Amino acid sequence: MLLIRFCFCIQIILVASLAMPMPHALAQVDKGDQPGLIPDAADEELSPEFARQMVSYRTSEAPGTIIVHTSERFLYVIQPNGRAIRYGIGVGRDGFQWQGLLRITRKQEWPDWIPPHEMIERQPYLPRFMAGGPGNPLGARALYLGNTVYRIHGTNAPQTIGTAVSSGCFRLINPDVIDLYDRIPVGTKVVVRQQPEL
């Protein structure tokens, strides 16, 4: 009889816990950061709009310069003769978009991920460290922007390309970030714009 009452109490507690609202930290899981998720090749097939391609692009910036248009969700690598290689990207969500002029200060293959303190405060469920590899949110490569916490990097969440989900970094699918990494030396100028030029 005592065992039946105990089981009944456990059932009541379980039902009550399911009816309670989720804790604030769990309710705000960021769909853009999915540590441990390993995408398959089919996941990295982008819609034609965001696929890497050569496009016409008028600018006074020198060939080799990277121009990021956050509002358009594209990163351009300037080429000679009014052309650019365009990559689809994921950008910072509202409140985390920025603009400015920086340089690539460092490059890393399969970078380790150490979420900044500010990110941990917003998303306490994140790991404090994650070794580089296919399930790492930084993806296959990272290009570090100045002395900031921002990077141009790959992703293990390719469905976020074309969206605003990050904490200020720019993400590309892994095949695209590998291509970019191989083209861009340390010291490359990076121009980040929120609004298109007139």
Q: Which residues form the catalytic set?
A: 153, 169
CA dist., res. 63 & res. 73, Å (int): 20
Query: Who contacts 62 (Cβ-Cβ below 8 Å, separation ≥6)?
Result: 78, 189
CA dist., res. 166 & res. 153, Å (int): 11
CA dist., res. 1 & res. 9, Å (int): 13
Cβ atoms 36, 135 nearer than 8 A: yes
